């Protein structure tokens, strides 16, 4: 079996490449290194079944060649991270929408199965209950740049389902909740690596807002296991699945837990969102998944609890 991973030098993509090699796939990776990094692939760079192409997914001739070689396409390439989205809204929309359209169009031409990595951000400002796949979306104003990413990924989902229904292209959509683990960088606003790095360096741990906003974190190894299993499950085709963890924690409590687990003397500072990201920012107060659907279909249960996730990030930065 052969797989193509777009964005395969990124945080999640590199872990997926490792897992697919363990499952005896031949793996092709394409990444433009905008947010990906070649160091993420160091463990597998000499594997004879791993092939790397440094290019954009908008290069149609390259993508056509790669897709023709693959049986399965895992589409992860996207502009990610709150800071990246706030600073580069045009590139966010361009890559996330045009890139996905190109992948689906070429996959349909060659009739190759696609898994689209989507995001819990598509749910928007929901906060009253755990989020299930059929819930309505609650978006903020178009004048708030924060929602550009959510809207771009929503369109990706619409495109994927349209190709499934109209063109009979086999597609699966995985809505990933807050994914953490080794190799995740805090450069683009990812909360856990930022907390851990600050704690280890004795710098203030910065919490945006009052810290009462809550998230549910899932380890990257659990995420890639879920994606690999969804890809080979025929009953998953044409459907959407939350990939996340039930455990919910406020950002303020996460900061204290990181401080405790690192043995840090760091202060915990609160700063307004506007100071961190400028005008045009809104946050989601709560983001917790209902995972009954994926549990019922493939029996998926996350293996990592929160403390193990945090420890894996601490160990990574200590190394």
Active site residues: 149
Stretch (H or E) spanning 54: strand 50-54
Six-digit token string for 174: 């995985």
Let me know the angle formed at the C-alpha of 240 by 121 and 212, rounded to the nearest 5 degrees. Answer: 30
Per-residue CA distances from 217 to 43, 181, 188 (Å): 25, 10, 17
191 forms beta bridges with none
Instruction: Report the SS3 class of residue 95.
Output: helix
Spell out the alpha helix ranges (H) of 111-168.
148-167
Distance CA 282, CA 273 (A): 8
Task: Answer whether 273's CB lies under 8 Å from 283's CB.
Answer: yes
């Amino acid at each position: 079996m052969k797989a193509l991973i777009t964005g395969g030098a990124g945080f999640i993509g590199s872990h997926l490449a490792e897992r697919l090699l363990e499952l005896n796939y031949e793996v092709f990776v394409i990444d433009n290194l905008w947010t990906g990094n070649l160091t993420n692939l160091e463990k597998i760079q000499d594997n004879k079944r791993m092939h790397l192409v440094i290019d954009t997914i908008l290069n149609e001739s390259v993508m056509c060649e790669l897709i023709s070689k693959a049986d399965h396409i895992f589409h992860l390439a996207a502009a990610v991270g709150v800071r990246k989205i706030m600073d580069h809204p045009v590139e966010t929309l361009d890559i996330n929408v045009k890139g996905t359209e190109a992948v689906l169009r070429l996959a349909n031409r060659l009739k190759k199965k696609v898994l689209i990595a989507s995001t819990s951000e598509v749910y928007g400002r929901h906060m009253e209950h755990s989020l299930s796949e059929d819930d309505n979306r609650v978006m903020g104003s178009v004048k708030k740049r924060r929602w550009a990413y959510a809207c771009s990924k929503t369109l990706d989902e619409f495109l994927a389902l349209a190709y499934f229904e109209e063109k009979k292209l086999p597609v699966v959509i995985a809505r990933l909740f807050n994914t953490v683990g080794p190799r995740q960088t805090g450069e683009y606003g990812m909360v856990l690596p930022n907390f851990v790095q600050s704690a280890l360096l004795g710098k203030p741990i910065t919490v945006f807002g009052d810290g009462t906003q809550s998230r549910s974190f899932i380890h990257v190894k659990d995420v890639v296991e879920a994606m690999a299993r969804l890809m080979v499950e025929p009953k998953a085709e044409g459907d959407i699945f939350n990939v996340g963890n039930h455990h919910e924690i406020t950002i303020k409590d996460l900061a204290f837990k990181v401080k405790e687990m690192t043995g840090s003397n760091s202060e915990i500072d609160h700063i307004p969102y506007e100071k961190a990201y400028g005008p045009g920012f809104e946050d989601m107060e709560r983001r917790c998944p209902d995972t009954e659907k994926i549990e019922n279909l493939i029996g998926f249960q996350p293996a990592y609890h929160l403390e193990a996730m945090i420890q894996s990030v601490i160990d990574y930065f200590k190394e």
